[in-house]
Structure formats: C-alpha cells, structure tokens
Amino acid sequence: MKYLLMVLLLATMLSSCKHHPVADKVILGRVWTADNETPWAQGFAIMGDSIVAVGSVADLENWIGESTKKIETSADNIVVPGFIDTHTHFMEGGFALASVQLRDAKTPQEFINRIKAFAATLPKGEWITSGDWDHENWGGELPVKEWIDSVTHDNPVWINRLDGHMCLANSAALKIARIDDRIRDVEGGTIVRNSKGKITGVFKDNAMNMIYEIVPDPTDEQKDLALEAAMNYVAERGVTSVHNMSGYMDVFERARTNDELKTRIYAGMVLGEWKELNRKIAQDGRGDKWLRIGGLKEFVDGSLGSHTAAFFNPFTDAPTDSGFFITPEKVLYQRIKSADSAGLQVMTHAIGDKAIHTLLTIYEQVGEENGDRDRRFRIEHAQHIAPNDIPRFAQLNVIPSMQPYHAIDDGRFAERLIGSERIKTTYAFGSLIETHALLVFGSDWFVAPPTPLEGIYAAVTRQTLDGKNPTGWVPEQKISVEEALKSYTIRAAYASFEEDLKGSITPGKLADYVILEKNLFDIAPSEIRNVKILSTVVGGQQVYPKE
C-alpha cells in the first residue's frame, strides 16, 4: 500500500511537471519591480499580455519551453516597469511634432527666421500653430506681431508659449478674428498692449479663446496621424501609459475600436463636462486596459512664466501683479462638488500658492460634505506651495501630480519672479515625500518633453537647464532615484485607479516594461538623462524599437 501511494504521488508530480504552462517570453537580468515586497528580481515570465511569474533564474526555469522567447539583458542594463506620464496634452504634442519648432530659439531673430522658413513650406492661408516659444531664452521680452507680420503675410499665425498660457497672433490672424485695439479685456485673461494702448498680439489664458475659437479644426485624418506620431514618440522614450488631461476622446475611441493603440491612455474631460462624462460611464463603463476614462480637468490659475499664477503676494519683479484665478472660487467649488458627488475623479491645475491653498480648502470642504470615499483628488503641477500647505496633501489624501522637468526649467528665472523665500518650497518634491504625500510625476507634454529619464534626472539633481546650479537648485528638495522611479510607475498607476493593473513588475499585472542601457542606481545622477532606452514593451509586445 505504501509503495502504491509513492507511485501515485510520483505520477502526480510528473503529470504536474508535464503540464506546467510554458511562457511566451522570459526576461532575465537585473529587474527593479516597484513592488515593495520584492523590489528586485532576476527575471520574469510573460504569457499573452501579462506577467505570470517573477523571481530568480531558478524560479523561472519551469516557465521556459521550446517555444519560449528568452531575452537576457546585459549586466549593465536594468529592467523597470513601463513609465507612466501622469500629465500630458497628448494630441497637442502629436500636432506640435509637425509644426514650427521654437522652444530653443535663442534670439528674436532666430524666432523670426524659423517662422519665416516654416511659412515658406505652407500653402497660402494655412494656419501656423503650436511653436512652444520661450521668451526667457532672450531675456524675457515678449514677442510682438510686428516681428513676424512681414514673413507671414500669407498665413495666419497663432503660436503658443511653451507653457500654453499665452499665445502670439500675427495681424492676419487678428484680421480673421476681427480683433483690433478697441477689444476689451476678459475676466481670467489678459490682452497685452504696448505703452500706446495698442495690442501686441500676445493673449494670455482666457483671452486666448478669442482666437482659438476661429482656428480651423484638424481633419480626422490629421488627428489620427497626430495620435500615431505621439504614440511613437513617447514609446521611444520609455512611456507605456499616459494621462491625457482633456479632449480628443473620439480619436482615442476610434483607435481603440480599430485596435491601433500602442500607448495606454487615461483620458480626461474638462470639469464643466462632468455630466456628459457621468452619462458616458453609466452607458459604456470606465473602459478597459487600453483606454480608461473617469478624470476631469479644471484650471484655478495660469503659469509662473506668464505671470498668471495666483499668489498671495505680488511677483517680485512686478509689485502690482499677483496673478489671477482663471476660474472663480465659487464656480470651482460648485463644479468640484457636483463632479465628486457623481463619483468622478477631479484633477485640477493649480500653480501659485494662493491657487493651491484655495484648492486644498475646496477639496477638504467637498470631502466633508460628500462623505468618505476613495476619491483620489489631484492637484496638477502644485508648483509653488505655501509651507503650511505642504502637510495638507497627505492629511487630505490629495495627490500632487507634478512635472520635475519644469523645476530645472523654471529654476533659471523663478527667483527673479517670486524671490528667495518663496522658492524654498517650490517644486517641493522632498518635503512632500517627507510628509508622506503620494507624489506622482509626468511631463505636461507639449509644454515639456515627455522623457521620464529627464524627469528623474531633474528630481534627483535639480540641476537647471542653464548649468548655473551644479549642486542643485533648492537642493534640499532633491529626492532619491527610487522615489522618482516610483512616481513614474506604481504611484502613477494609483493616480488613475490602476495600481492593480500596472505600475509594477508583479504576477497578474500587464507586461509593460522598459529595458534601460544603464542601471540608474549605479551611475552618477548627472548621467541619468543620457541613458538610452533599449526597448519599450506594452502588453508583452515591443513597440520600440519596432520589431
């Protein structure tokens, strides 16, 4: 009887081994998982679009069969979860790839020459948009329409500053919009005028709507091409998921229906459309692993570089100006409370200390009035925080959704704008981590490049783009490589209610990962931005380089 039991046990074991599933792929190498329980592994196995096993080389041997594709990375490489960019204007980024490139124009003449050269490639009457110019590159003088009128007389121009909070129109665009010097200012916006009261062509925040409403919409074909360009662009930079702040839902849905998405998208709408989003969710659900909906975007204020961020005290370089609210406080409260009562996630742009304080207070009030639930309120940017408001993020369970590249960009001029005291808690990554806030990172693309490795470099070194802060701008706000990685992976997944689906290399989660040329934990922080992306994989399928 004992012998028979041993035979039966052996037969069961052999049968079990014989039928052990074989993985489609096994990745071997140094793996940072973003999983707190097992942060490091020697590899993982993939079946279909999901991870089925993570562990040592010995743990993975049973998953390897004749049909398994085995990938062994080198000793210098590291494998990390796919990067999640929590703040993009994804389609605008795609459109900008095909437009005039002004971000690094260093002088007014270079600015003019690039627009002239680009206009020469266009048919008469076609609009020139995007651009991403930065007047700080030539000392802070705002451009005027006269700079470009003579080189764009056949094409209306409506080009944005890189932060998206002010645009320049040429005379051709103003003529189409029927705007002249008699135009009145609007609440929550500014029409820039010269010393004689003449409009210069620069419009800020809500004033920009005067021109935006007459710029022709792109065709469906142009939209689809822009999405394809955007997905390819971010894949090359290791991004496997993005949070799109608002708009273009129809484009994303068309791509999903046609099985053309290669980047996972958490798609938002503007807060004023919360009823429409609520109806859409009731009818179709919140989406799937490729396209998910549920977030709503709103603005409190503008930006630092445009002097439209709302501060308690005036700008240091403009003593009569303290910025302004784009959306009135009462309207903010009413919209946020209504959307939250419907179970939707609110993601609100706030940059100046007054805007952030006001928004935190509204979030706190709405949470008390609507009752306890897992709402995951977000503050987008959260750049210039009053010291007393820093611990409130963790206390109120509000997610600071920040863009570290902005810190090394704005760090070139922020002290001139807001002084030496306020910069101590600007881009306060370190203080937010210390007070246990759930910090997440993104790019704000098109405003900044969608390059997580540059974001990690920025958060870890805080070395400004002008090279003038080699030890870091406000160095006490630096964070570790591990914290920065978490902000682009597992914490970023949490920010869209997807932490059980992605964000770490864990059995049962989607096989979204990136192979990096060098181990970020072993190299000098200053080298991080130059590390190459060797491979970007979404759902087990390589999207960069193209197979």
pLDDT at res. 547:
73
Question: Phi then psi for 263, rounded to 5 degrees?
Answer: -120, 135
Cα 4 to the chain's mean position, in Å?
A: 64
pLDDT value of position 29: 98
Position 85 scores a pLDDT of 98
| 314, β-bridge pairs | none
- In 63-181, which ranges are continuous DSSP H helix? 90-96, 108-119, 145-149, 171-177
User: In this structure, what DSSP letter does residue 384 have?
Assistant: B
Which residues, 6+ apart, have CB-to-CB distance to 256 below 8 Å?
288, 290, 291
Contact 502, 81 (CB under 8 A): yes
**Residue 158: which of 181, 127, 114, 132 has the closest Cα?**
127
Which SS3 state, helix, strand or coil, does residue 116 take?
helix
Beta-ladder partners of 295: 268, 345
Chain Cα centroid distance, residue 217: 24
Please return the burial class of 240, using the count of CB atoms within 10 Å of its CB with bins 0-12, 13-18 and 19+: buried
Give the other-Cβ count within 10 Å of 321's Cβ. Answer: 13
Residues 6+ apart with CB under 8 A from 365: 333
How far is CA 413 from each of CA 44, 167, 418, 473, rounded to the nearest angstrom? Answer: 45, 20, 9, 11
**Average pLDDT over the chain, rounded to whole?**
94
Beta bridge partners of 513: 81, 537
- Reading the block at residue 259, the tokens are 């099985």
pLDDT at 8: 41
What is the mean pLDDT, run by run of 10 residues, along the chain of 547 residues?
A: 40 49 97 97 98 97 96 97 98 90 94 95 92 92 96 94 91 95 91 95 94 91 93 98 96 97 97 96 96 97 94 96 96 98 98 98 98 97 98 98 97 96 98 98 94 98 96 98 98 98 98 98 97 98 92
- How is 421-490 classified by DSSP, letter by letter? HHGGGBS-HHHHHHTT---EE---BTSS---HHHHHHHHHH---TTS--TT-SSGGG---HHHHHHHTTH
Write the pLDDT tens digit of every residue in 425-467.
999 999 999 999 999 999 999 889 999 999 999 999 999 999 9
pLDDT for 546? 85
pTM over 0.85: yes
Pairwise CA distance, residues 434 & 47, whole Å? 39
Q: Which of 311, 454, 325, 303 is nearest to 380 (CA)?
A: 303
Neighbouring-strand partners of residue 88: 244, 445
| Spatial contact of 480 and 22, defined as CB atoms under 8 Å apart | no
Give the number of residues written for the chain: 547
Please state the φ and ψ torsions of residue 216, each to the nearest 5 degrees.
-60, 140
Dihedral Cα 111, 114, 115, 121, nearest 10 deg: 180
CA-to-CA separations, 477 to 351, 355, 405, 507, in angstroms, rounded: 17, 21, 14, 34
**What residue ranges define each of the domains in the chain, with the CATH number in brackets?**
2-72 (2.30.40.10), 90-212 (3.10.310.70)
CA distance linking residue 268 with residue 281, whole number of Å: 12
- What is the distance between the alpha carbons of residues 246 and 251, in angstroms, rounded to a whole number? 12
**pLDDT for the residue numbered 19:** 62
Cα 7 from Cα 14, distance rounded (Å): 10
Q: What would the pLDDT profile of 244-256 be if each residue is shown by its tens digit?
A: 999 999 999 999 9
Task: Kindly write down the DSSP assignment for every residue of 259-279, as one continuous string.
Answer: T---SEEEEEEEGGGHHHHHH
Are the C-beta atoms of 85 and 243 separated by less than 8 Å?
yes
Picking from 144, 159, 161, 149, the residue whose alpha carbon sits closest to that of residue 200 is 144
pLDDT for the residue numbered 5: 42
Contact status, residue 42 vs residue 29, Cβ threshold 8 Å: yes
- What residue type is assigned to position 77 of the chain? N
Distance CA 156, CA 173 (A): 4
DSSP for 505-547, written as a single string: --TTSB--EEEESS-TTTS-GGGGGGPPEEEEEETTEEEETT-
In whole angstroms, what is the distance from residue 138 CA to residue 142 CA? 9
Neighbours of 86 (CB within 10 A): 29
Residue 6 is predicted with a pLDDT of 40
